[in-house]
Structure 1
């Protein structure tokens, strides 16, 4: 696990997404901007999990559950949005 908050300076959303992709990592975020980078700009990624409206304690519980249940979808390039009682999955676009 890598937390971008440990980096010496914030490289910006595009570089965070690019680093996760280069390292073959699923990006877990509270920020919808990463999904917009992936969908609207077509930035490559290895899956994005966005957590919405969750307390800090709920974030860890939901994150672990979603990673266990939807690991394959995420690694195939899906964007998953997870709330306490709801999960939405946007499958990856057809990759050429």
Structure 2
């Protein structure tokens, strides 16, 4: 699966996801943070699911209707748990994410917002 990790996601998550066979880019490796809009646009252009801790991406996708290829938001997950929660969500909800859903995952709880058919 192709993923783009937001700058707020711990960089060590990239290593774990690559080891699990995913194609991963971490925005933290970029020379500068281009901001949320450009991060979401880059993920879309490259066909990547965005992984973030930031709730602002939901507003960009839902309210401002910016196109995306799926968003996985990790909530209340410390850096040591991010890899585990991310891998579990990708395993269990890959079909939903690939279809453009917004998946919000925390320890013991997942919410899924299906893609908006009116895009």
Q: TM-score range by the shorter chain?
A: over 0.9
RMSD value, Cα:
0.8
Q: CA-to-partner distance for each residue in 1:23-70, whole Å, 9 max, x for gaps?
A: 110000000001110000000000000000011121110100100110
Trace 1:7-86 onto structure 2 (pairs within 5 A). 7-86=30-109
Structure with greater strand percent: 2
Gaps of 5+ in 2: 1-23
Return the alpha-carbon distance in structure 2 between the equivalents of residues 35 and 6 of structure 1. Answer: 23
Return the alpha-carbon distance in structure 2 between the equivalents of residues 46 and 28 of structure 1. Answer: 11
TM-score (norm 1): 0.97
Number of equivalences: 96
The residue number in structure 1 matching 2:8 is none
What secondary structure does 2:54 align onto? coil
Gaps of 5+ in 1: none
What secondary structure does 2:44 align onto? helix
The residue number in structure 1 matching 2:29 is 6
